Amino acid sequence: MMNADYVVVGAGSAGCAIAYRLSEAGKSVIVIEHGGTDAGPLIQMPGALSYPMNMSRYDWGYKSAPEPHLGGRELVCPRGKVIGGSSSINGMVYVRGHAGDYDHWAESGADGWGYADVLPYFRRMETWHDSGHGGDPHWRGTDGPLHITRGPRDNPLHSAFVTAGAQAGYPVTSDYNGQQQEGFGPMEMTVWKGQRWSAANAYLKPALKRDNCTLVRGLARKVVIKNGRAVGVEIERGGRTDVIHTSQEVILAASSLNSPKLLMLSGIGPGAHLASHGIEVVADRAGVGQNLQDHLEVYLQMASAQPITLYKYWNLFGKAWVGAQWLFARKGPGASNQFESAAFIRSHAGVEYPDIQYHFLPLAVRYDGQAAAEGHGFQAHVGPMRSPSRGAVTLNSADPKDAPHIFFNYMSTERDWVDFRKCIRLTREIFAQEAFKPFVKHEIQPGAALQSDDELDGFIREHAESAYHPCGTCRMGRADDPLAVVDPECRVIGVDGLRVADSSIFPRITNGNLNGPSIMTGEKASDHILGRRLAAANDMPWVHPDWQVAQR
């Protein structure tokens, strides 16, 4: 019989961090992961990022239900099915989120998760590499498992983007993960020595070298609950069903799509929904699977007047050369995710902190690596950060092998449309600045002909894509909040010995990419489990002095 102090379901961003910290503290840990090894160049080479997220070997292959406000499109929803989880298939962009995000969490019932509380965990988890591009060393970590670097930024388009932002009147920031998120500057990535630095590389592999940490391959079917307490996890492997037992607690870190699914399969969730699938209700929690949020984005693509973009490698010989450089020296374009410049701006006066994010890429291409648009080009991915739309994850059936039903309800409010049009118009203004004059030939997408609200809405409806940041489906809140799923200690309300610790507990989506906040959640949850806490920080983040009256 397999037994450990703690059983962690999911070897993803949060789960790997939890396994590392609990085993470091001398506890025995079993990690259950359905996916397999992350060995091989397609995962480990940063420049190959479009491949693993489109391979059934590494990805659960989920899709949204038809989205009524996006013309009935089903949007792909990649989630990592491999050690490292989505940190092994993502774009490797590292963003902590804004201080205001975490203060909002605390105000909405996640006591002890304000910015002052989470900043020490971001510092603990990082080893930040100052690359000579400036930065904010005081705000950063120096000896954590997660290496954070910046790309070489040697393509002139990267500095053109930042200069254009400054010319348009926005601030420049040397470190959006430091004191000042707002502005244009270098982007950071979870890459180290030319290799993807996933949660598996940073946390899980070192943890597995300890005698008290074990990885078990299998599909988690449900949490086994006896007399109101979680006592183990039922898994399927090699055609048979086993139970992995715990003497202390079960911790779900299976993603914002699979953690609520597992809770519901285990009898924890909206009672009527569970009963409709013949599942016995253990704890009637209306909030399980609700509050689903994501970031949507569009790509504004410009044709380049100079042949300086990554398109020069977009042929068999070019890709072979990039691959060889990376394989033998961990250098060249393959050693970067190519997202090397970024920006966070505010959409209007009266918005206190940024609500629009930019990823800049010196190539015009789709996220799935398809169809480099007409030759040399570059693009900005842009989208609003705090959409008011909310969706839900529910069960399609009581069969653990079935995908969950995922409905984001994207663009379901008027505010979404207003914000998205604003994103497009502000981006066009940036590309029209002097700094881009030598590089812009014409606008590929949406295309200069599309100007009216209706025309832009049509483009958004057809072309908006998920940025792959689903979260919020097991919301953290006060124990007396009927829609909260976990309390601020990450304990599932209504069941003993069970916690959830991953992006599903976010009360509201954070600014930017979610890998950093997910790892932080695992780091902080492990301290809650161990009954300890890092002292709160008292650093004051920067807020634009004229935010009430000026957009920039």
Say what the pLDDT of residue 306 is.
Answer: 96
Is it the case that residue 136 has pLDDT exceeding 90?
no
**445 touches 464 (CB < 8 A):** no
CA angle 17, 23, 27 (to 5 degrees): 130
Instruction: For residue 540, give both structure tokens.
Output: 């004051």
Question: Over the stretch 256-281, which tens digit does the pLDDT of each residue have?
Answer: 999 999 999 999 999 999 999 999 99
Binding residue ranges for FAD: 82, 90-93
* C-alpha separations of 378 from 199, 323, 382 in Å: 30, 22, 13
Say what the pLDDT of residue 372 is.
Answer: 58
Please tell me whether the peptide bond between 362 and the residue prior to it is cis, using omega within 30 degrees of 0. Answer: no
Question: Over the stretch 191-231, which tens digit does the pLDDT of each residue have?
Answer: 999 999 999 999 999 999 999 999 999 999 999 999 999 99
In this prediction, residue 91 has a pLDDT band, given cuts at 50, 70 and 90, of very high
In this prediction, residue 10 has a pLDDT band, given cuts at 50, 70 and 90, of very high
Binding residue ranges: 82, 90-93
Instruction: For residue 341, give both structure tokens.
Output: 């410049």
**87 touches 10 (CB < 8 A):** no
Say what the pLDDT of residue 134 is.
Answer: 77
In this prediction, residue 371 has a pLDDT band, given cuts at 50, 70 and 90, of low
Tally Cβ neighbours within 10 Å of residue 352. Answer: 12
Is it the case that residue 355 has pLDDT exceeding 80?
yes
* Domains within the chain, CATH numbers bracketed: 1-61+78-149+193-288+475-536 (3.50.50.60), 152-186+296-384+412-463 (3.30.410.40)
Say what the pLDDT of residue 264 is.
Answer: 98
Instruction: For residue 411, give both structure tokens.
Output: 């663009």
> Catalytic positions, please?
469
DSSP assignment of 507-518: SSPPSS-SHHHH
Q: CA–CA separation, 352 vs 98, rounded Å?
A: 11
Question: Over the stretch 294-332, which tens digit does the pLDDT of each residue have?
Answer: 999 999 999 999 999 999 998 899 999 999 999 999 999
Strands 213-217 and 29-33: parallel
Share of residues in the chain with pLDDT > 90 (%): 95
Question: Over the stretch 453-502, which tens digit does the pLDDT of each residue have?
Answer: 999 999 999 999 999 999 999 999 999 999 999 999 999 999 999 999 99
Whole-structure pTM value? 0.98
Is it the case that residue 50 has pLDDT exceeding 90?
no
**223 touches 233 (CB < 8 A):** yes
Say what the pLDDT of residue 191 is.
Answer: 98
Question: Over the stretch 403-423, which tens digit does the pLDDT of each residue have?
Answer: 999 999 999 999 999 999 999
